[in-house]
Structure 1
């Protein structure tokens, strides 16, 4: 009897997760001015395509100009109103402010800041390399703070949104990724606290924290194949869930929904459907 109830809960939660994602109206993003970091590959690339299909205006940034150019061409084919490319290395502090200023100049303002880039890090046991931790925190955390700080005045004007991509490992740590997990945990602490302060000040800017499971990006697959036994989910679907959550201004989103929610609560992985909690 207990197993039947559990299966019923799983099925219901999966359906609810699907409905959460499917409630998104892409037309709400028509002409939206969107800056996406880490947009040349993986989830960032797929998010750019989803925004393009909705008719958004895009500023895309990454280190590889050649890869960005390919994304730009496809975005324009899919229906983006405008696509500006901003090549930048988020490990360089000065580049972050320049990216925001250039994006605002190119787009005439800013409605969405989508923070997605990450620094490369090995999937291995901690080897005592403190300098790598400092660099990774600079790229995966401090640069997010710099970008959000620079963009905030423009987002206040537009009543815009900050969308932050994080990881389920930032909530439930696993072995072999201590520096990466530390950076994701820092993201959650900072942006959840900042959201509370914005609410206290009645500042009309939403912050959506996106907590993702293992997604089939090239970099993730290269690191984890043959090393972990975890469900793997499509980058295209994960990107859609992020875009949807940001557009609906939810506070926190999990992809896959049931897997993330139950993993945090009970350490039991399940389902394949994204969703969110604490809507607002």
Structure 2
């Protein structure tokens, strides 16, 4: 009976939070002329985020490893209404490359209003941890240290513009998920670093917002290819995900959960019933396809 009461309370709180945030709206004018950097923007969620800002008349800077993809995304951003669309090829496994991205952004855009940290990578695959430390180092470099490097390099520009940092996290950054140990480690590190940074900004009244996007399984090409046959759950659309993330960024919300009903209730219950949540989540894995 106590468990049921807790679950009902969690659902009620979740519904209230959803209702409150869903009533807030944004207008294109609030972003018109703003300078946006989106990492990992050649495909997937990052590409869709770039299109959302482009439609609102922003200046967009794209970065990823594949130049041909970046060229196509930049061209579409211009067609959608971006005041300008530039790109810089980068490899976030190299922290010097991350520094270079901010340098080029400042040169091309004259500053920065939104830093959207979306890229993901590393040498790890979806599977059982085999004790390979190179995999851990690779994931931590791309999925954590490069985020911090980009933030460090962009900090002066963001303070000048009273700008915003948006960090793509995951439910795997809040609840340990099997078969993605290195990825989970990086996402947990991101959550700790940026929640701490948000509090520092608040204490010193720097007026730089930090939005952490806690995402579930999204239908990006990379995600579906990697885990599509290993999970029973259905992925959520990247286009809608991008809309929700951009909305939260513009409203300077500290967090956004997408898909909301798949993630927020889990977050509310996990501290009260961690074993129950773990057992429920484990049922989504098709273990025989992992061997």
| TM-score for both structures, normalised by structure 1 | 0.89
User: Is the partner of 2:160 in helix, strand or coil?
Assistant: helix
Q: How far does the alpha carbon of each residue in 1:114-166 deviate from its partner, in whole angstroms, 9 at most, with x for none?
A: 00001143110101111111011011000000000110100111000010000
Aligned to 1:206: 209
CA contact (8 A) 1:49 1:75 kept: yes
CA contact (8 A) 1:36 1:61 kept: yes
User: 5+ residue gaps in structure 2?
Assistant: 270-276, 282-291
Aligned to 1:241: 244
Aligned to 1:251: 254
Change in Cα spacing, 1:19 to 1:252, as seen in structure 2 (3 Å) is closer
The correspondence for 2:111, drawn from 109, 112, 120, is 109
Aligned to 2:219: 216
Aligned to 2:66: 64
> Matched residue pairs, number?
267
The correspondence for 1:87, drawn from 89, 109, 113, is 89
Q: For the aligned residues, what is the CA RMSD?
A: 2.4
CA contact (8 A) 1:113 1:162 kept: yes
User: Is the partner of 1:262 in helix, strand or coil?
Assistant: helix
Distance 1:228 1:110 in 2: 39
User: Is the partner of 1:164 in helix, strand or coil?
Assistant: strand
Distance 1:127 1:201 in 2: 44
Structure with bigger RCO (C-alpha 8 Å, 6+ apart) = 1
Distance 2:207 2:21 in 1: 27
User: Is the partner of 1:73 in helix, strand or coil?
Assistant: helix
User: Is the partner of 1:236 in helix, strand or coil?
Assistant: helix
Aligned to 2:273: none
Distance 1:82 1:64 in 2: 20
Aligned to 1:76: 78
Name whichever of 18-27 and 218-227 sits farther off.
18-27
Compute the displacement of 1:16 (Å).
Answer: 3.3
Aligned to 1:163: 166
The correspondence for 1:31, drawn from 20, 30, 33, is 33
Change in Cα spacing, 1:214 to 1:206, as seen in structure 2 (3 Å) is same
CA contact (8 A) 1:88 1:99 kept: yes
Distance 2:86 2:18 in 1: 37
Aligned to 2:181: 178
| TM-score for both structures, normalised by structure 2 | 0.86
